Amino acid sequence: MERPAWAPPGIDISVPSVSRMYDFYLGGSHNFEVDREAARKAMEFLPGLPKIMQANRAFMRRAVRYAAGEGVTQFLDIGSGIPTFGNVHEVAQQASDEARVVYVDHDPVAVAHSRSVLDGDERTAVVAADLRKPREILGSPEVTELLDLDRPVALLLVAVLHFLEDQDDPYAAVFELTAALAPGSLLIVTHASYEGIPVPQEQASGTVGVYRDTRNPLVMRSREEIAAFFAGWELVEPGLVSMPRWRSEGPLDQEDPFAFSGFAGVGRKA
Question: Helices marked H in the chain — which ranges?
Answer: 18-25, 33-45, 49-69, 88-95, 108-118, 134-138, 141-146, 170-179, 201-212, 223-227
Distance CA(267)–CA(235), nearest Å, equals 4
Q: How confident is the model at residue 2 (pLDDT cuts 50, 70, 90)?
A: low
pLDDT, position 116: 87
Instruction: Answer yes or no: are the C-beta atoms of 198 and 258 closer than 8 Å.
Output: yes
- With a cut of 70, say whether residue 6 has pLDDT above it: no
pLDDT, position 137: 98
- With a cut of 80, say whether residue 5 has pLDDT above it: no
Angle, in degrees to the nearest 10, between helices 49-69 and 33-45: 100
- With a cut of 90, say whether residue 102 has pLDDT above it: yes
Distance CA(185)–CA(118), nearest Å, equals 25
Q: How confident is the model at residue 113 (pLDDT cuts 50, 70, 90)?
A: confident
Burial of 131 (0-12, 13-18, 19+ CB in 10 A): buried
Mean pLDDT of the chain: 94
pLDDT, position 3: 65
3, 187, 236 from 269: Cα distances, Å? 45, 8, 10
pLDDT (tens digit per residue) in 165-223: 999 999 999 999 999 999 999 999 999 999 999 999 999 999 999 999 787 799 999 99
Q: How confident is the model at residue 84 (pLDDT cuts 50, 70, 90)?
A: confident
With CA atoms as reference, report the closest residue to 183 among 145, 151, 215.
Answer: 151
With CA atoms as reference, report the closest residue to 163 among 12, 17, 7, 14.
Answer: 17
Q: Which domains does the chain have, with CATH numbers?
A: 50-198+220-268 (3.40.50.150)
Average pLDDT (238-263) is 95
Taking every pair of C-alpha atoms in the chain, what is the biggest distance, in angstroms? 52
Average pLDDT (35-45) is 97
Left, alpha or beta for 85 (phi > 0: left; psi -120 to 50: alpha)? beta
Distance CA(82)–CA(30), nearest Å, equals 8
